[in-house]
C-alpha cells in the first residue's frame, strides 16, 4: 500500500503545490486546514477534478491536543503517517519596538510550537517502521533575519535547531529530518505585494532575477521524501534564487 503524507497548511501556496507533487509520486496525501475554514470542501472538489484524491483534516497546529486528535483520525482513516511536511505558518510583521506579546506568541505557536505538536505523535511510529521523512518548511528570513520580523525569523530559525537535534536522535531508525528555506516564492500571498514594491525592492535582491515557483519548492520536498534522499538528514537546504548564500 502507498505511503501516507501529511502536509500542514496544505490548501494554499506552497502547501497545495507540495500536495500535488506528492500525489503524483503515489503518496496518499492528507492536507490539514485551520478549524473554521469553510473552503476545504470546494478545494477538495477542485483537486479531485485535477485527478488528486486528497483527504483534509481540520487541526489547530498551535494546539497540542488538536494535533494529537488529528493524527489519530488520520491514522484511523488513512493509515500511519510516513511523511510529515510542517508547512503551516503565519506572519505578524512589525518592528520589535512596536511588537506586542500577542503578535510574538501567535507566530511562535503557529510556526514553531506546531513543529513539536505535529511531529511528536508521528515520529516514533516512523521509527518503529524503520522509515520516515520529516520536512520542516523554514524561510530565508530564518537564515538572514528580516526587518520587522523578529518573531517570524526567530521561529523559522528555531525550526532548524529542532531539525538538527531530531535528525541525530532518529537517524539510526531510518527516519530523516530536514529543513528547507525558501526565499520569495510566487504564491498568492507574495503576489499580493504591490508590483512596484516587488520590482524595486524584492526582485533586485534575487540574483536569478525572478520569484521562485511553488512547483520548484515542491520538487525539493519531493526529493527529500524519496529513497534517493535517504542519506540526507539534519540539512537545511536553501531555495532562494541566490538571495542568501552560506
- In this structure, are residues 90 and 16 in contact, taking their beta carbons and an 8 Å threshold? no
Other C-beta atoms lying within 10 Å of the C-beta of residue 114: 29
- In this structure, are residues 113 and 165 in contact, taking their beta carbons and an 8 Å threshold? no
- Residue 13's SS3 state is helix
152 an active-site residue?
yes
Query: Could you give the C-alpha distances from 32 to 88, 122, 140, 220, in angstroms and in order?
Result: 9, 15, 24, 20
CA distance 67 to 121: 8
Nearest to 185, CA basis, from 164, 206, 213, 210: 213
**Dihedral sign from CA coordinates of 109, 111, 116, 119:** positive
Which one of the listed residues 33, 152, 170, 184 is annotated catalytic?
A: 152
What positions carry a catalytic annotation? 152
Amino acid at each position: 500500500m502507498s505511503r501516507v503524507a501529511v502536509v500542514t497548511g496544505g490548501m494554499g501556496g506552497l502547501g497545495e503545490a507540495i500536495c500535488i507533487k506528492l500525489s503524483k509520486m503515489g503518496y496518499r496525501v492528507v492536507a490539514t486546514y485551520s478549524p473554521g475554514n469553510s473552503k476545504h470542501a470546494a478545494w477538495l472538489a477542485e483537486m479531485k477534478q485535477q485527478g488528486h484524491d486528497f483527504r483534509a483534516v481540520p487541526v489547530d497546529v498551535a494546539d497540542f491536543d488538536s494535533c494529537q486528535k488529528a493524527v489519530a483520525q488520520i491514522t484511523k482513516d488513512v493509515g500511519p503517517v510516513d511523511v510529515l511536511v510542517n508547512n503551516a505558518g503565519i506572519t505578524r510583521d512589525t518592528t520589535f519596538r512596536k511588537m506586542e506579546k500577542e503578535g510574538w506568541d501567535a507566530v511562535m505557536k503557529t510556526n514553531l510550537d506546531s513543529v513539536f505538536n505535529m511531529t511528536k505523535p508521528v515520529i516514533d511510529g516512523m521509527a518503529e517502521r524503520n522509515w520516515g521523512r520529516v520536512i520542516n518548511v523554514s524561510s530565508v528570513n530564518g537564515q538572514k533575519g528580516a526587518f520587522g520580523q523578529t518573531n517570524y525569523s526567530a521561529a523559522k530559525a528555531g525550526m532548524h535547531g529542532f531539525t538538527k537535534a531530531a535528525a541525530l536522535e532518529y537517524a539510526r531508525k531510518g527516519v530523516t529530518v530536514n529543513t528547507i528555506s525558501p526565499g520569495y516564492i510566487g504564491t498568492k500571498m507574495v503576489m499580493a505585494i504591490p508590483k512596484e514594491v516587488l520590482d524595486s525592492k524584492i526582485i533586485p535582491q534575487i540574483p536569478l532575477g525572478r520569484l521562485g515557483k511553488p512547483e520548484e519548492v515542491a520538487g525539493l520536498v519531493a526529493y527529500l521524501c524519496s529513497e534517493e534522499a535517504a542519506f540526507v538528514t539534519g540539512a537545511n537546504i536553501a531555495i532562494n534564487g541566490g538571495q542568501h548564500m552560506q
